[in-house]
């Protein structure tokens, strides 16, 4: 709560969360005064909404939670509402909180969960609407940053991949915007020769008003390389929003680049590929965990929510090396075996749990934990057939 609420109020003159010395990219480290991160603002808009969703589940069991008394200052919708469109009011409220929390009193204040949800949702909604209105560019993609002189970084032919990924993944970008953004990504960041997606366009100069990353030669590390950490997040975000063909192309580009002879590596996921298509930094990467995460949750579509299994596979015929794919894991002390039968497209024909048909609900196939526990067998089979 502290992490997200303080960040929400910590904004610059464009009413965007301050970049300070970096966000996910530690190469954007030279805009501590006037820099702002639209990219991470997308993330916080999403996270505030997610916290609200978990609180709704918690609210079915308890009605109140105890929070540090000082934190109440940042729950302004409950106490003293401010105008979120005015960045100075946000900054002032944050200063009041920092002053009050200089010495924590240790006192607690009970807050009703429904009021807490209301406050967080108001913040998330404001941030989402603001970003969509103010940071969508006529070029057909989102701006992601303001530099240390308060200037907008992206526009026309200048583009960062992270800006678009976080907009899509956060669900702030609308479906029509995603289509235009994908077109822009293919136009500005896709390299037809090497078959991969670059982290950014060539800014053509050492951009020290934003960060040291732009002092690297273009095509190396965080300056225009094929940076797998963000490419796999691109795939994840596209899959998540229902753009399966686009997600598959992004996801597959990593495999193709990693297994090409010019990569000069054993088949694995490096941090990035350079202008020669060579894989570099084999053990300094978050790409591998994101790759497995995307494979399990998006491609195979195995998700969990409060003990329930939610199946939303997005496999395409090209993903099958043979007629079936199999996965296995343990849940509630039971071995769950999933098998996917190849079809002509990515649409699901039927899902069977131990031969019994599972009904589709709100576009998802949900297997309740209670149902699994009722089945006395230690090994259960789930079969998914594509049309």
Show me where the domains of the chain are located.
1-152, 189-299, 304-386
**Distance in angstroms (rounded) separating the CA atoms of residues 166 and 212:** 22
Burial 21-30 (b: 16+ CB within 10 A, else e): ebbbbebbbb
Predicted pLDDT at 307 = 84
Q: Are 309 and 337 in contact (CB under 8 A)?
A: no
Inter-CA distances, 240 with 60, 234, 243, Å: 28, 10, 7
Looking at residue 359, the DSSP 8-state letter turns out to be: P
Per-residue pLDDT 10s for the chain (387 aa) are 999 999 999 999 999 999 999 999 989 999 999 999 999 999 999 999 999 999 999 999 999 999 999 999 999 999 899 999 999 999 999 999 999 998 889 999 999 999 999 999 999 999 999 999 999 999 999 999 999 999 999 998 899 999 999 999 999 999 999 999 999 999 999 999 999 999 999 998 899 999 999 999 999 999 999 999 999 999 999 999 999 999 999 999 999 999 999 999 998 899 999 999 999 998 877 899 999 999 999 999 999 888 899 999 999 998 998 999 999 988 888 899 999 999 998 889 999 999 999 988 887 899 988 888 888 889 999 999 999
At residue 328, the pLDDT reads 93
40, exposed or middle or buried, with CB in 10 Å at 0-12, 13-18, 19+?
A: buried
Angle between helices 2-9 and 113-134 (to 10 degrees): 40
SS3 of residue 270 by DSSP: coil
**Under 8 Å between Cβ of 357 and 312:** no
Determine how β-strand 334-341 pairs with β-strand 348-353.
Answer: unpaired
Distance, in Å, from the CA atom of 189 to the CA atom of 141, rounded to the nearest integer, reads: 12
The whole-angstrom separation of Cα 194 and Cα 274 is 10
Q: Which pLDDT score is estimated for 9?
A: 98
As to burial, measured by CB atoms within 10 angstroms (0-12 exposed, 13-18 middle, 19+ buried), residue 107 is exposed
pLDDT tens digits for 233-291? 999 999 999 999 999 999 999 999 999 999 999 988 999 999 999 999 988 778 999 99
**What pLDDT is recorded for position 363?**
79
Q: CA separation (Å) from 379 to 328, 337, 359, 376?
A: 10, 7, 21, 9
**357 by DSSP, 3-state: which?**
strand
């Amino acid at each position: 709560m502290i992490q997200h609420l303080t960040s929400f109020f910590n904004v610059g003159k464009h009413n965007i969360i301050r970049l300070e010395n970096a966000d996910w990219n530690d190469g954007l480290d030279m805009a501590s005064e006037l820099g702002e991160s639209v990219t991470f603002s997308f993330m916080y808009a999403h996270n505030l909404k997610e916290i609200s969703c978990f609180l709704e589940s918690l609210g079915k069991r308890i009605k109140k939670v105890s929070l540090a008394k000082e934190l109440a200052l940042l729950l302004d919708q409950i106490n003293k509402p401010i105008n979120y469109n005015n960045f100075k009011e946000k900054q002032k409220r944050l200063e009041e909180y920092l002053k009050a929390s200089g010495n924590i009193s240790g006192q607690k204040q009970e807050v009703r969960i429904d009021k807490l949800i209301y406050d967080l949702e108001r913040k998330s909604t404001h941030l989402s609407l603001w970003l969509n209105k103010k940071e969508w560019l006529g070029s057909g993609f989102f701006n992601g940053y303001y530099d240390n002189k308060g200037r907008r970084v992206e526009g026309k032919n200048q583009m960062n991949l992270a800006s678009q990924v976080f907009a899509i993944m956060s669900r702030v970008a609308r479906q029509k915007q995603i289509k235009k953004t994908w077109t822009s990504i293919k136009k500005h960041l896709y390299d037809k020769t090497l078959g991969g997606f670059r982290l950014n366009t060539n800014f053509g100069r050492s951009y020290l008003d934003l960060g040291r990353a732009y002092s690297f030669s273009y095509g190396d590390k965080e300056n225009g390389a094929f940076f797998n950490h963000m490419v796999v997040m691109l795939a994840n975000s596209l899959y998540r929003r229902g753009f399966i063909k686009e997600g598959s192309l992004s996801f597959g580009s990593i495999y193709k680049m990693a297994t090409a002879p010019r990569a000069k590596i054993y088949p694995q996921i490096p941090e990035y590929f350079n202008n020669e298509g060579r894989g570099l930094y084999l053990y300094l990467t978050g790409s591998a965990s994101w790759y497995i995460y995307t494979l399990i949750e998006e491609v195979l579509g195995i998700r969990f929510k409060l003990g329930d299994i939610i199946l939303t596979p997005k496999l395409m015929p090209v993903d099958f090396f043979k007629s079936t794919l199999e996965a296995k894991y343990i849940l509630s002390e039971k071995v769950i075996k999933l098998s996917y039968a190849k079809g002509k497209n990515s649409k699901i024909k039927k899902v069977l749990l131990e031969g019994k048909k599972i009904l589709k609900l709100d576009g998802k196939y949900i297997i309740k934990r209670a149902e699994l526990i009722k089945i006395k067998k230690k090994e259960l089979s789930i079969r998914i057939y594509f049309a």
